[in-house]
């Protein structure tokens, strides 16, 4: 039976299979195209890289940015690194979890929002820092976070 996910994984893998360490750029490409790493990925691509399924699974598990489940349309990442902690990110994260009704790593039931943590966005003196999709926000307090999320909801 034709499996479109497997076919697409094999197509992508063909572009990286001859590169040294090509499995990592491949996984980034899979994450980008699918929005997550499909369950069948490791098993499908491992032989092309002369790796075991377990070795590819190990790479997927090691990197925080590789997601096992489909992500929300918008991805909110709150910086939890030291400088942002000194600027109040703990309060922001507690508020965000309550406000969004999400834990880190979860996606809302309507598929609109995913919440995640991140460790340093390079904006350390202006924390708490937050990334929403490709946009960076600084000095994010609870009201600012609410207004960012309302903007996403309006734009859907």
Of 5, 83, 148, 152, the residue at the interface with ligand FES (CB under 6 A) is 83
84 binds ligand FES (CB under 6 A): yes
Of 59, 115, 121, 130, the residue at the interface with ligand FES (CB under 6 A) is 121
List the structure tokens of 126.
């202006």
Q: How far apart are CA 124 and CA 126, in angstroms?
A: 5
List the structure tokens of 26.
């491949």
Residues 89/80, Cβ–Cβ less than 8 Å: yes
Cβ distance to ligand FES smaller for residue 83 or 112: 83
Residues 57/44, Cβ–Cβ less than 8 Å: no
Q: How far apart are CA 100 and CA 74, in angstroms?
A: 12
Q: Could you tell me the smallest distance in angstroms from the CB atom of residue 127 to ligand FES?
A: 5
Cβ distance to ligand FES smaller for residue 24 or 120: 120
Cβ distance to ligand FES smaller for residue 12 or 116: 116
Q: How far apart are CA 10 and CA 98, in angstroms?
A: 41
Of 129, 130, 132, 140, the residue at the interface with ligand FES (CB under 6 A) is 129
Sheet holding 74-79, edge to edge: 113-118, 74-79, 130-132, 135-137
Q: Could you tell me the smallest distance in angstroms from the CB atom of residue 115 to ligand FES?
A: 16
123 binds ligand FES (CB under 6 A): yes
Please report, as ranges, the residues that interact with ligand FES according to CB under 6 A.
79, 81-84, 120-124, 127, 129
């Amino acid at each position: 039976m034709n499996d479109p996910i497997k076919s697409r994984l094999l197509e992508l893998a063909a572009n990286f299979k001859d590169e040294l360490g090509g499995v990592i750029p491949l996984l980034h490409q899979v994450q980008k195209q699918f929005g997550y790493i499909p369950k069948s990925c490791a098993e499908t691509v491992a032989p092309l890289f002369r790796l075991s399924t377990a070795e590819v699974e190990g790479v997927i598990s090691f990197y925080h940015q590789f997601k096992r489940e489909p992500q929300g349309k918008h991805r909110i990442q709150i910086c939890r690194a030291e400088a942002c902690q000194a600027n109040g990110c703990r309060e922001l994260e507690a508020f965000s979890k309550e406000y969004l009704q999400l834990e880190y790593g979860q996606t809302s039931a309507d598929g609109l929002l995913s919440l995640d943590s991140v460790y340093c966005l390079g904006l350390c003196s202006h924390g708490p820092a937050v990334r929403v999709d490709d946009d960076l926000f600084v000095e994010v307090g609870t009201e600012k976070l609410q207004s960012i999320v309302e903007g996403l909801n309006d734009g859907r």
